[in-house]
Amino acid sequence: MGLSVDERWDLIDKISKETVTFGKYKHTLKDAVGELTIKPLTGIPIAIAVLYGLWSFFGSFAGFFTDGFFVSLFDEHFLPWIQSVFPDKGGWLYYIFVGDPLADNCFEAFGVLTSGLFIAIGVVLPAIIAFYLILTLLEDIGYMPRLAVLIDTILHKIGLHGYAIVPTILSLGCNVPAVTASRILETRKQRFIMMTLLAIFIPCGAQLGIMEEVIPDTMGYVLIYLLIGYFILGFILNKIIPGKSPEILIDVPPYQRPMLRNVRRKMQMRIVGFFKVAIPFVLLGCAVVNILYKGGVIDWLANVMSPLLSGWFGVPDETVGPLIAAFLRKDLAVAQLSAIPMTSYQMITSVVLVSIYFPCVATFVMILKEGWKDLLGSVAVLAAVVFLYGGLIHLIGILLGVA
C-alpha cells in the first residue's frame, strides 16, 4: 500500500502515454445503429418493437406446443387412460392423483398427475423455453444495458435506476435468479425496493404462460394492473425508505453476435433449473390443495375468509383454494382459478391477487438468503399492498360498473 488515488492516476497517465496510441476513431455502422437504440426519440419505438417481438414469439411458440399438441395429448389420450387405469376410483389416492373422474380436460381434473403434469409440462415448459430463448439472445447481443440507459429517468422516480431493468426482466422469467441479480444495485434501499417490487408485482414466466393459455383476452388488463402497481408502490417506497439512490454507472458494451455455444448452454442451465425448482412444487401444490379440499379445510377457510374475499376484494369465496396453491406455485394457482366460475372482472381481480399476494416459496427462500430483516420488511409491505390494492381494484370495478 502506498499510492494515493491521484498518484495512481498520474502513474497511469505516464504508462499509457508510453504505450497507447489512439488512432482516429471513425464511427462504424454498428455504432450508429447502437446510438439509435439509446436516444429516447428513436430508442423508445425500438424498445416497443423489441417487446412486441418478445411477446409475439412467446405467444406463437407456446401456442404451437400447448394448443397444437399438448392439449390433445393430455385431454384426449392421457386423461382417459389414467382415469381408467388408476385403481380405487372414489378413494383418497384417486382424488389426489387423478382428481375428478368425470373431468374431460386436464384443467378441471385437478389431480397431481393430470392437472399437475399438464400445467408443468404442457403449458409452462414451452412458455419458459420461449421466454428464455429470447432473453438469452437479448442478453448476448448486448441490448440490456441499452434498455437500462433508456429507461433510467423513469426508474429514478421509484428510487431505482436504469439498471433495475435487468432484475425486472430476469424476473419475468423467474423471480428466483432475479432476486440474486438485484445485488448489482448499489444501496440497501435500492435492493430492498427492487426485491419487494419483484416479489409482489412481476409475474414470472410460468405465470405468464398459463395466463396466455387460460385467460388470453383479459391478460392485458392483469398486466396493466401489475405494471401500475409496480410504479405506485415503488414511488411510495422511495419516499418512505431512508437511504440513497445513486446514479447509474454503466458501460454500454458494443453489440455482439450471440454465440450458439453460449446460448445453448444458458438455455440448458435455465431449463434444468426449471425442472428442479418448478415441477416438484407444482406437483406438491396440487397434492396439498387436494388434501385440504378432501379434509374440508378449504370449505371452512372459504367460509371464514368470505368477508374479505367476496366483501372486500369482490371475488368468489372458492378462490381460497388457488390462493393456498399460490404459496407454492403461481402458475398452478392461476390454472385452478380458471376452473372456478366467475365474471371476467372477478377473474382479473383474482389473478392480480394471486400474483401480488405472496411470493412463491422458492422466491421466499431466495429473499431470506439475502437477509431476514429485508424479508420481514417485504412481507409487511406485501400484506398492506394486497389489502389496499386488492380493495382498490374492486373499487375501480364498482366505479366502472363491471364488478
Among residue numbers 13 through 32, which ones bind another protein (CB under 8 A)?
13-16, 18-29, 32
The grid coordinates listed for 314 are: 369482490
Sign of CA dihedral 84, 87, 91, 92: negative
Q: How many of the chain's residues bind another protein (CB under 8 A)?
A: 77
Q: Based on CB atoms, which residue is closest to another protein, 1 or 400?
A: 1
Nearest distance, CB of residue 27 and another protein, angstroms? 6
The window from 84-92, 206-214, 265-273, 373-381 that contacts another protein (CB under 8 A) reads 265-273
Residues 44-83: x/- map of binding to another protein (CB under 8 A)?
A: -xx-xxx-xx-xxx-xxx-xx--xxx--x-----------
> Does residue 191 bind another protein (CB under 8 A)?
yes
What residues contact residue 287 under an 8 Å CB cut-off, 6+ apart? 96, 112, 116
Q: Based on CB atoms, which residue is closest to another protein, 199 or 326?
A: 199
What residue spans of 122-246 are helical by DSSP H? 125-141, 144-156, 165-173, 175-181, 188-201, 205-214, 219-240
The window from 98-106, 152-160, 253-261, 390-398 that contacts another protein (CB under 8 A) reads 253-261
The window from 4-12, 114-122, 230-238, 281-289 that contacts another protein (CB under 8 A) reads 4-12
> Does residue 374 bind another protein (CB under 8 A)?
no
Nearest distance, CB of residue 185 and another protein, angstroms? 7
Neighbouring CB atoms inside 10 A of 235's CB total 12
> Does residue 123 bind another protein (CB under 8 A)?
no
Unique residue bearing C-alpha cell 380436460: 105
Q: Based on CB atoms, which residue is closest to another protein, 36 or 368?
A: 36
Residues 205-244: x/- map of binding to another protein (CB under 8 A)?
A: ---------------x------------------------
For residues 251-281, one letter each, b for 16 or more C-beta atoms within 10 angstroms of the residue's C-beta and e for the rest, the string is eeeebeebeeeebeebbeebeebbeebbbeb
Residues 146-175: x/- map of binding to another protein (CB under 8 A)?
A: --x--------------x--x---------
Nearest distance, CB of residue 180 and another protein, angstroms? 6
> Does residue 9 bind another protein (CB under 8 A)?
yes
From candidates 98, 128, 151, 266, binder to another protein by CB under 8 A: 266
Angle between helices 344-357 and 330-338 (to 10 degrees): 160
From candidates 106, 123, 139, 354, binder to another protein by CB under 8 A: 139
- Name the phi and psi angles at 110, rounded to 5: 75, 0
Q: Which residues is 110 bridged to in the sheet?
A: 99
From candidates 259, 376, 383, 402, binder to another protein by CB under 8 A: 259
Nearest distance, CB of residue 88 and another protein, angstroms? 32
> Does residue 300 bind another protein (CB under 8 A)?
no
Q: Helix (H, G, I), strand (E, B), or coil: what is residue 49?
A: helix
> Does residue 144 bind another protein (CB under 8 A)?
yes
Neighbouring CB atoms inside 10 A of 158's CB total 23
Task: Decide: residue 345, CB within 10 A, 0-12 exposed, 13-18 middle, 19+ buried.
Answer: buried
> Does residue 140 bind another protein (CB under 8 A)?
yes
> Does residue 84 bind another protein (CB under 8 A)?
no
Q: Based on CB atoms, which residue is closest to another protein, 157 or 265?
A: 265
- 314-353: contacts with another protein (CB under 8 A): none
In DSSP notation, 94-121 reads HHHHTB-TT-SSHHHHB-IIIIIHIIII
Residue type, 45: P
> Does residue 384 bind another protein (CB under 8 A)?
no
> Does residue 260 bind another protein (CB under 8 A)?
no
> Does residue 275 bind another protein (CB under 8 A)?
no
> Does residue 253 bind another protein (CB under 8 A)?
yes
The grid coordinates listed for 353 are: 391477487
Look at residues 173, 152, 172 and name the one whose alpha carbon lies nearest to residue 161.
Answer: 152
The grid coordinates listed for 322 are: 388457488
Look at residues 38, 105, 82 and name the one whose alpha carbon lies nearest to residue 254.
Answer: 38
